[in-house]
Amino acid sequence: MMGKDREPLGSEKGRELNAEGRPDSGDPSRDLNSSRAGTTDPPNTVPVFTWENDEVVVGGNAKIRCQVTAVSAAESAQLTNQEHQKLSKRQHEDEASWSTRSWLSLQAQRMSVALQLAAAEEIATELRLAAASEDARRRVHGLDFSDILLSAYAPDGGLFVPELSTMPNHIAGLHPGMTLAQVTARVLEPFTGIALADCEEICAAAFLSFNNGLEPALPLVRAGRRLLLETGAGPTLAFKDIGQQVVARLLNHVLGGRGERATIVVETSGDTGPAAIEAVRGCEAVRIFCLYPEGRVSRVQELQMVTVDSPNVFVYRTEGDTDEQAEALKRVFEDAAFMRRHSVCSINSINWARVLVQAGYYLWACQQVSPASDRPVHFVVPTGAFGNAAGGLLAKRLGGAVGRIVCATNSNDVVHRTISRGDMSMRANQQTVSPAMDIQFAYNVERLLYFCSGGDATAVAALMATLEADRAVALPPPLLHAVQDTFVSCAVSDAQTLQTMREVWAADGYALDPHSAIGVHALRTTPRTEPTLWIRYSGGMGLGVHALDHVESVRAACEGGRVVCVLTAHPAKFEEAVAAAGLPAAVCNDPRVAALERKPKKFRRLRDPKAASRQLKLEAWASEGRVSVPPIQTLGQPPLGRFSGDSKGDGQACIKSAYEEGGEVFVAKVASGGGGNNSGLVLVFSQRTFAPLAVLLDGGLLTELRTAAAGALAASLFAPAEPHHIAVIGCGVQARYQLGMLAAVTPCRAVRLWSRRPEQARALAAELDGGPAGWAAEVAPSAEAACRGAGIVLTVTPARSAIVRTAWLRRPVVVLAIGADSAGKQELEAGALIEADLVVVDSRAQCVDKGELQHAVAAGFDPEEARELGECIAEGGWGRGSKPSRPELVVFDSTGVAIQDVKIAELCLAELSRQPAVPSKL
């Protein structure tokens, strides 16, 4: 935050503020929650739903009685109020939203392959998860904190919550002199089974860098007549740092005790990702995979993710929105076998530990503002997925002097509609100036319903099942009333957000980020002069309107209490909104942001495929999602020493390996050659017994066949319908196989051959010309003469300097760059890839390392602009990313992917099994 005159909270004057931010007169306040605030009794709830459970002692400590269950989302119990279920079937879903959502399962598979491609070995850690019925999701009990920490969703798809009957209703020993770390440690202790001293050490280390190392870790300041809690004082300038820094250290504590590793998978609307990455970067026991939506986060948020250079950090830019990311990852999290095999967990607010930690700063703020807990403290919270507000609700359940919680949303207002009228319907996600709150699937509302229903997981499961099935559900009136006992809400437009930023800066010299401005807007002290803003939402089934401005109801709910506005981020993270609001650019000056500008960027893309049908997309991606392909190992080439007797310096042995998850075999292939001599073999092992099944002494034949097949596959997708002729640059063995395969995918039979060894070109021409395939072959006097006018250009050489010039290529043409994959390999000018309408690779990572792509990247080409061949197949052709509607200059860079060797080996084994069990030579 930045302001000219910020007054820290240091006196009773600072603590006595009413709902409008004015000094309180001292009269008794209207305590809206007298049975809950400042007492040790469990909060009252409307007795709508009830159920009983056995108690479980956590961690073997008889003094800790916190049982854990899961709020399910698909139990079969039906709510009695059928009329409200009918109301839940809202008819405003936008057709465009559905077409975008159709890639969710695909993205889940894509995330699976990302995890597996990064793993050279399987992590065999088993999570101690309770068994769940396959056909009906059940509540699970008896899990300890480490189980919850090292997971994401419950096995049935619900969120983990504590059993209310065993949950503490008071945190003893809190006082105003405590630091945030001390308060948070006392929240963690009864839920985690970790000793208080260890909890304090964990929290103290987590908050050490907050507020530039000063106390309090989270400044509580006055700007004008408002009391503001600056939670964006951490290393990435957002409130998410609070939870992420602690959870990362909890992971390290648990994993260190077990001697295990974990894989974190997280999606972000902008702040969670940078905070999670910062918390675990460089940690050897944890690796993290983070998804963020392209064009839906601020420039600084993106820089905080893509500039991290750490071997345990993998960042993915998606073509979608945050709701799609969340649903895609939920599908990954529901794959129990995959989760166990890779020790997958999440540290966004679906993780119960995050909510626990976030309860700490609400309790700490209550101690500062109402040390005697004699009057309630109301909080205004900018709200997206409801994780921040859920921390406030938990703080209230733990005996904190929390009064009302105001949830202020942007135009993605599902939380506001849920709280104000029980309308839980997911609408089309709208892009706003507050991107971290652009969420329509507020998953933590599930925890809200659990607490407000008195812990009725069965009823909550039925509601969530309806929501997931119909994308809408209506809360029954008693449950809605229970929610409204604590929560009130409003929705704020972009115009109101920017206006609030301007007004607060002009009046108080205080710079707000757009998310925080949404909360501050809810408690404006200036009279409302502008008319109520209405936003229209159109859907495939109708048109509706709804009011955004509910400021007056918010004020009324918070009258008589002390009010704290929870600020969620530093304005430096949102330069675009600061500029739009007309604030000075200097408010965004921060040396941590400036340092990001100088760092290189690293990320991968998860694209939105446009295949003919959803099922085709799933089928096309399913195999990729189960493939593990470790990096290639190359012998005989730098940086390793050359082979003895390799006078020409072209000898090498290439070792590739792969397996398909759930398959029968794993394969290691060795291809060796040099000086015109090529050989190789394929080793096939059983995935079940790990025993060798076969040694395929193919002499390199299988490698030649699969390489040629890849070229023909690319030609079938991208070659002109009627090429003038095929240019072949290099006339060795692979040229013959390539032409043999191409004969099946193109009608063209005119071939122009060129080789640095003219006699080789003449021999191949004589072999082809007039043969059974009908080739009409001629030897070209130069490579240029062969290429000009060709519709297919095939390069099959071991060249290390460009042979084919960009100027020789006349559209439409596809270039099949097949030559030997090795560091330094180059057959094409880098400009050919830079100027191409579409660059296709068999493996982006391999081609950057050993293909034509390495030279194009050095010349400034963004490797993420290249499409993998599997993506193109899934999309039914060239797909998105090409410049014209159909690309006219396509370059296919092939390095050979080992999963091809797996499939060929499986075919060979199937054939051998039908022959006598004697050594066979293929």
| 3-state SS record for 192-238 | HCCCHHHHHHHHHHHCCCHHHHCCCCCCEEEECCEEEEECCCCCCCE
More confident residue, 552 or 863: 863
| Per-residue pLDDT at 361 | 97
> Which long-range contacts (C-beta less than 8 Å, at least 24 apart) are formed by 333-338?
333/152, 333/153, 333/265, 334/153, 334/155, 334/157, 335/112, 336/129, 336/132, 336/155, 338/112
Q: pLDDT tens across 318-338, in order?
A: 877 888 788 778 777 878 888
Q: What is the DSSP letter of 527?
A: P
Pair of tokens at residue 529: 């002069």
Asked if the model's pLDDT at residue 829 lies above 70, the reply is: yes
Predicted pLDDT of residue 575 = 93
For residue 874, the model assigns a pLDDT of 63
The pLDDT tens digits of the residues spanning 610-659 come to: 544 433 433 333 333 456 677 778 786 665 566 776 666 667 788 999 88
* All domains in the chain, ordered by first residue: 145-530+563-598 (3.40.50.1100), 707-897 (3.40.50.720)
The residue-averaged pLDDT of 88-98 equals 32
State yes or no: pLDDT of 202 exceeds 60.
Answer: yes
pLDDT confidence of residue 269: 86
Cα–Cα distance for residue pair 572/590, rounded to 1 Å: 7
Q: What is the average per-residue pLDDT within 505-522?
A: 95
Confidence at residue 570, expressed as pLDDT on a 0 to 100 scale: 94
Burial 70-101 (b: 16+ CB within 10 A, else e): bbbbbbeeebeeeebbebbebebbbeebeebb
β-strands 313-318, 344-345: how paired?
unpaired
Q: Is the pLDDT of residue 304 over 70?
A: yes
Task: Name the residue among 424, 386, 407 with its Cα closest to residue 489.
Answer: 407
Between 872 and 497, residue with greater pLDDT? 497
Q: Which residue has the higher pLDDT, 208 or 124?
A: 208
Q: Choose among 50, 833, 65: nearest CA to 453.
A: 50
The Cα–Cα gap between 780 and 758 comes to: 9
Q: What is the pLDDT of residue 881?
A: 41
Phi/psi for 774 (5° steps) reads: 80, 25
Q: Hey, is 596 helix, strand or coil? A: helix
Check whether 122 has a pLDDT greater than 80. no
Confidence of residue 548 (pLDDT cuts 50, 70, 90): very low
pLDDT of 309 above 70: yes
Helix (H, G, I), strand (E, B) or coil at 472: strand
Nearest to 286 by CA among 316, 308, 311, 315: 311
d(CA 527, CA 517): 17
Give the pLDDT confidence of 550-574 residue by residue, as tens digits: 556 666 667 767 899 999 999 999 9
Which of 147 and 425 is assigned the larger pLDDT?
425
Looking at residue 647, what is its pLDDT? 60
Q: State residue 388's pLDDT score.
A: 95
> Phi then psi for 190, rounded to 5 degrees?
-70, -15
Q: Inform me whether the pLDDT recorded for 589 exceeds 50.
A: yes
Q: 174 falls in which pLDDT band (50, 70, 90)? A: very high
The backbone torsions φ and ψ at residue 538, rounded to the nearest 5 degrees and listed phi first, read -110, 145
Per-residue pLDDT at 323: 80
Assign residue 321 a region: left if phi > 0, alpha if psi is -120 to 50, beta otherwise?
beta
Confidence (pLDDT) at 348: 80
Average pLDDT, the chain: 77
Span 1-19, average pLDDT: 36
Which tens digits make up the pLDDT trace of 242-289?
999 999 999 989 988 888 889 998 889 888 999 999 999 988 889 999
Q: Average pLDDT in the 308-313 region? A: 90
Tell me the pLDDT band of 39, cut-offs 50, 70 and 90: very low
Record the pTM: 0.62
Pick the closest to residue 656 from 628, 677, 614 (CA basis).
Answer: 628
551, 768, 777, 784 from 761: Cα distances, Å? 81, 11, 10, 15
- The predicted model gives 401-425 an average pLDDT of 95
Which DSSP helix (H) or strand (E) runs through 812? none
More confident residue, 335 or 7: 335
Across the range 790-813, mean pLDDT stands at: 95
pLDDT band for position 137 (cuts 50, 70, 90): very low
| pLDDT single digits (tens) 887-912 | 899 999 999 888 888 888 888 888 88
- 197 residue type, one letter: A
Tell me: the pLDDT tens digits for 24-35?
333 322 222 222
CA distance 181 to 202: 8
Q: What is the pLDDT of residue 574?
A: 94
Give 772 or 393, the one with higher predicted confidence. Answer: 393
What pLDDT score was predicted for residue 418? 96
Pick the range with the lowest mean pLDDT from 21-25, 704-708, 758-762, 876-880. 21-25
How many Å separate Cα 832 from the centre of its chain?
33
Please check whether residue 142 is in contact with residue 67, taking contact to mean a CB–CB distance below 8 angstroms: yes
> Do the beta carbons of residue 520 and residue 512 sit within 8 Å?
yes
Which of the listed ranges 156-170, 542-556, 565-579 does the model predict with the highest average pLDDT? 565-579
620 or 592: which leads in pLDDT: 592
